[in-house]
Structure 1
């Protein structure tokens, strides 16, 4: 029995000796963002920091009316940000922060901004002339903001191909609200776009809505003239008439005193053409009357009278 007791004591002594050995925890990284804070007029909003995925997620209530955030960022002791802290638009999805520790190790965090909002709805799409290139449309819906930079409007065809953002006509653009309902007028359909069926896509912050489908069709090409003054042998420019574009512009002729002259087309885009003055039209000529005839393959000819002045 004495030997057994002695053995038990020896085991206990070894066990207690083993318990005295401690395992240290890894020190906290010194290149971390420890707090991300946004102060608004009504709230203080803290970002959720994921130290594993290296993300910062900030939830912004739509009622806050914020268009940008100006964050305050806290870091590990002795750390610094690689670049200055700048205001961030709510729609900016490409913001990141790199933290540099005193030992020069780094961590990069991606910022995700989530606007807490109801899903928008496109209630109406209207146009005064045609649903066609270079024509304005107006839209309405529950977009919850009148800040144009928060709203992106595009057209999407049946194959899912999306246009560039529709640009406003500065002369007539208006955005107004009645409660959550917002009306936007005079957004221009792009000049370079194929015929087909299109839905109006409206993106408000992080949410997207679509209208019903509309058939986009080209209209008769036409041109406008403001009597040019041209040097002999030189060029001048013409533009389409309002709400039209140049399509398959093949020739331009001018009739002066019963004689037909060919005015070569040097180049053209949907919104502008560069025209060469005929070599056999000499200077000086002041306010000479010209009957212009523009030919567009697949369309009727467009005709326009104008005065032209030719200088030496």
Structure 2
């Protein structure tokens, strides 16, 4: 009989342990949160941003085919809160953002005065940008000469690759010297929108109609070719040589 009582007591103890409840304190939602972020200057459905409250970030994913250069965000925050910059404030010059980088932040101020900052990240769903080498043998760079005292002189070259934007305004091509200094941009002399794999350039010396880049280049130098195409950038691995004779 004693064993029966012991077993019954053990069962009751286990049952009481299983049915024990814990009270979790209620944590009110912060009053300084960014609740919704969407881009509205697009046709059809807005582009919604992914808000991460844990690391105070917002990430938007832009389709490459839109090739937007300005964004108009519409924002929603906690009841009674304010946000700076305000909803509807344009994000301008996206090309500069992609090429040079800058921090875009939003500060949400709650009713109690507490401020929470959010950092915006912009990701473009863009194909890889690749360029083929003009110089195939690094020890023997392809060389271009132009006589700065000739009545007229010029040289041309072509850059082949993939992933070029179809809109020429989204493309910038520069020469990069051995110290990573950029010269340019180069004037694109030929671009076929039905063949997005080739860019052609012509540099000309002719009285007051010379290519602007000639005024900044030294007499001789080795240069890689760098192309910016919307949000992507690619640079040749091998250099070309440009000689400005009689400069």
Aligned to 1:121: 130
1:166 aligns to 2:184 (yes or no): yes
Q: How does 1:100-249 map to 2 (within 5 A)?
A: 100-122=109-131, 130=146, 140=159, 142=162, 143-148=164-169, 150-157=170-177, 159=178, 161-164=179-182, 166-167=184-185, 176-179=191-194, 180-181=196-197, 183=199, 188-189=212-213, 191-194=215-218, 195-211=220-236, 212-221=238-247
Q: CA deviation at 1:201?
A: 0.5
Listed one character per residue, the Cα deviations across residues 246-301 of structure 1 (whole Å, up to 9, x for unaligned) are xxxxxxxxxxxxxxxxxxxxxxxxxxxxxxxxxxxxxxxxxxxxxxxxxxxxxxxx
TM-score, L = length of structure 1: 0.53
Q: Root-mean-square deviation (CA), in Å?
A: 4.1
Which piece of structure 1 moves more, 73-82 or 176-185?
176-185
Give 1 or 2 for the bigger CA radius of gyration.
Answer: 1
User: Which structure has more RCO (C-alpha within 8 Å, separation ≥ 6)?
Assistant: 2
Which piece of structure 1 moves more, 100-109 or 64-73?
64-73
Provide the secondary structure at the position in 2 that maps to 1:217.
Answer: strand
Quick check: which one's helix share is greater?
2
Mapped to 1, the partners of 2:63 and 2:124 lie a distance apart of: 6
Q: CA deviation at 1:11?
A: 7.6
- Number of equivalenced pairs: 212
Return 5+ residue gaps in structure 1 as ranges.
222-312
Provide the secondary structure at the position in 2 that maps to 1:216.
Answer: strand
- Report if aligned partners of 2:82, 2:110 keep a CA contact under 8 Å in 1: yes
Listed one character per residue, the Cα deviations across residues 206-246 of structure 1 (whole Å, up to 9, x for unaligned) are 3222234211223213xxxxxxxxxxxxxxxxxxxxxxxxx
Quick check: which one's strand share is greater?
1
Mapped to 2, the partners of 1:128 and 1:42 lie a distance apart of: 50
- Report if aligned partners of 1:131, 1:215 keep a CA contact under 8 Å in 2: no
Aligned to 2:39: 38
Q: CA deviation at 1:35?
A: 1.2
Mapped to 2, the partners of 1:33 and 1:130 lie a distance apart of: 58
TM-score, L = length of structure 2: 0.65
Mapped to 2, the partners of 1:43 and 1:138 lie a distance apart of: 43
Which piece of structure 1 moves more, 69-78 or 25-34?
25-34
Q: CA deviation at 1:106?
A: 1.0
Mapped to 1, the partners of 2:158 and 2:240 lie a distance apart of: 13
Listed one character per residue, the Cα deviations across residues 135-158 of structure 1 (whole Å, up to 9, x for unaligned) are 89776554114253x33333223x
